[in-house]
Structure 1
């Protein structure tokens, strides 16, 4: 089997070790001969890289490993670029969340005003990576799960239409794993689902037993109606905020009990609840900084200090499995069925062909084949078109450096009550993002 050279762009991320551990666990089906890390923050990346180097030495001495801040060195000679960058890191995420909350609006990293500001930063960073890959390894594939994926996908589709890039998201997979637990299945791999929407903005229209074809929607609906995607004790994730998110899915489900909602819909459908239950002084960014960020970097430092990863608590991340599955499908033409963000081109028959939608696709070496969803209901179509228009306006604003377009995008967002509030938020976001983007 051919061995692949992997570049992880965003090598200083707290998710890098999880990708490497997942790659190591799957060498039997996706052989790797080289892993490289690339980041524009050298000191941050070095801590993660030195720990990963020890992990690789102890687990698989045959894999070549390196890390660098030099783009040519990083991107030359690779087969896959796995990109998970965060422009501005967590301090900017904190501003994305807290500025809208100052005005009584949803403060979330990928939804509403925060997602728009983050998207304006991410477009720049992702396009830079696409261009490096195209210049130094034109036959490579970029597997992008940098957020906000919907805005980034819209931007690359319009500005780099020939780029070899796929956009993916782990959240639907996390929810499908919860569905599998609820239904007493081993894993989401035992389910066959149909999903449609935009990234972080979609619904499941079908959930079946993959082996028998049995319709599992009635059983699942009985549970979700009472408990959301959490278990009967209200648990589904380790972190309290995620448990609350999984429980809240029951409220979004109540609006249309014929389909199952992505958990992110809570920010659009129940924005007032989200604001009421979120502290403007301690946002999700603060929770991550005090939790995952501190834990991962302390564990990495412990590995470096001890010279071994034998006793480490670092584990494989749930989302890492999806990126390995996608790389394997491309490398070995497996025609695996996966959720990807792709041009609609008729997959949703009553939606714009140019829209970047998230739907099941068959993935192989020469591209993807989106599955036909057909026409979607008026309720979902109306919500999708509003959000799609927001994302298009954000990309317009980035291209044109347009204050007007960005104000329109914020005004159109379902998370913001009026044009007046949208303008107040926008002016604060412009001030906070001077280092990353400007509008006129």
Structure 2
């Protein structure tokens, strides 16, 4: 019997990640057949540049797949099975402010962690909820797979304001790190082993890694991390810029404070905030690197493809970001019961943690959604850190919902990257000015 053919919408069609995602979907047609692929964005010009190149790629590799792009929500969301959301509200101009404003006050400037992540979260909540509403109106049986950052705050917002929606919030960082773990011990990729993991988005730990015969791989991986963090002697993987390599190296120190587990690299911004700020180039941040790197590279390649009328020699390749969301779409479509790390409401999966917290855990994915795997109790060190972080995230969503200056000040002050309530207030006042077109009015 022929496999079901899906209709997929990429929301945020003008993203620099779109071409790699399109390539990945085309490479996966044997396991996820497509009848239709659509792009949607509210920036018509930006999306057109990407879409015209993608059209050529599709015409050359899979001409049977119907392709279109639009800025009209009804056209985009009608007759869709899977929505892959990858929004960047405010684009890189606002990301630059997310990073540079905290640095001005001696605090970590990062797009998903600390004050920058909170700022980005308040920009993202409304547009993501808008996408969910479009999906429910025009394709109520579809699933939304949300890559849009900051995933923790977006997940809390969708849990609270759209509790019955068919949205799954995901992050590719655990996938990227698991592929590195596999390579440094001589395996092909992350699918050669099974992991146990708990935490919040960008705030978690691996507790167990075994191969398919049950052999414990943690000691070998741990030995590598103790020596050189998550750096590796290969060009494979999607994070190779110096700023990322520095973050990968920081896993050495993060592993020392908790030698029983393996850390997510983003813990650096919370547990090593002082050294992060000290060694950062505060005038040329990660946003600048992307503007001068991936942004230029992707759009110049899109224009080159369109001008030449062919993509047969394109540099666009699939990556971990694309493969993870494609695997998730397959699991939902064909009920594969694959084990994947997702962001989910806790509901007792971590026994000694808040029931309504949005946590990141291994889940079993099938046609009806996903089931979190129980982690039991977690240690007091991790539990205390997570409780502080989840409080900061919930206060941020409170602030968005209530238009409350006080709640947002409390959210910043609660965040472990911020040293005092005075610094939190100074950062907040600067962020309000930068985000006045995107945030609700705060009183």
1:439 is aligned to 442
1:213 is aligned to 214
* Secondary structure of residue in 1 paired with 2:250: helix
Structure 2, unaligned runs of 5 or more:
none
2:24 is aligned to 22
Q: Deviations over 1:106-135 (max 9, x none)?
A: 000000000000000010110010010011
Q: For 1:34-53, what aligned pairs fall within 5 Å after superposition? A: 34-53=36-55
Moved more, 52-61 or 228-237: 228-237
CA distance in 2, matches of 1:74, 1:233: 40
1:148 is aligned to 150
Note if 1:359 corresponds to 2:361. yes
CA distance in 1, matches of 2:166, 2:259: 38
Q: Deviations over 1:195-217 (max 9, x none)?
A: 000000000000111x2111111
Structure 1, unaligned runs of 5 or more:
none
1:295 is aligned to 297
CA distance in 2, matches of 1:317, 1:142: 20
CA contact 1:227–1:234 (8 Å) conserved in 2? no
Q: Deviations over 1:347-377 (max 9, x none)?
A: 1010011111100000011121110111100
Q: For 1:49-88, what aligned pairs fall within 5 Å after superposition? A: 49-88=51-90
1:255 is aligned to 257
CA distance in 2, matches of 1:178, 1:231: 7
2:279 is aligned to 277
1:189 is aligned to 191
Q: For 1:15-414, what aligned pairs fall within 5 Å after superposition? A: 15-209=17-211, 211-231=212-232, 237-414=239-416
Moved more, 73-82 or 315-324: 315-324
TM-score normalised according to structure 2 size: 0.98
CA distance in 2, matches of 1:187, 1:296: 26
TM-superposed CA distance for 1:317, in Å, is 2.5
CA contact 1:234–1:247 (8 Å) conserved in 2? no
* Secondary structure of residue in 1 paired with 2:296: helix
CA distance in 2, matches of 1:234, 1:277: 25
CA contact 1:78–1:140 (8 Å) conserved in 2? yes
TM-superposed CA distance for 1:234, in Å, is 12
CA distance in 1, matches of 2:174, 2:434: 31
TM-superposed CA distance for 1:439, in Å, is 1.2
Q: Deviations over 1:165-196 (max 9, x none)?
A: 00111000000011001111111100110000
- Call closer, same or farther: CA 1:321–1:232 in 2, change over 3 Å: closer
CA distance in 2, matches of 1:282, 1:245: 16
1:10 to 3, 9, 12: 12
CA distance in 2, matches of 1:354, 1:362: 20
CA distance in 1, matches of 2:269, 2:115: 11
TM-superposed CA distance for 1:40, in Å, is 0.3
How many residues were matched structurally? 439
Which stretches of structure 1, 4 residues or more, deviate above 3 A after TM superposition? 232-237
TM-superposed CA distance for 1:226, in Å, is 1.3
TM-superposed CA distance for 1:22, in Å, is 0.5
CA distance in 1, matches of 2:35, 2:60: 15
* Secondary structure of residue in 1 paired with 2:69: strand
TM-superposed CA distance for 1:48, in Å, is 0.1
TM-superposed CA distance for 1:219, in Å, is 1.4
CA distance in 1, matches of 2:369, 2:232: 38
TM-superposed CA distance for 1:222, in Å, is 1.3
CA distance in 1, matches of 2:40, 2:202: 27
CA distance in 1, matches of 2:235, 2:327: 30
TM-superposed CA distance for 1:276, in Å, is 1.2
CA contact 1:340–1:359 (8 Å) conserved in 2? yes
* Secondary structure of residue in 1 paired with 2:46: helix
CA distance in 1, matches of 2:251, 2:257: 10
CA contact 1:338–1:361 (8 Å) conserved in 2? yes
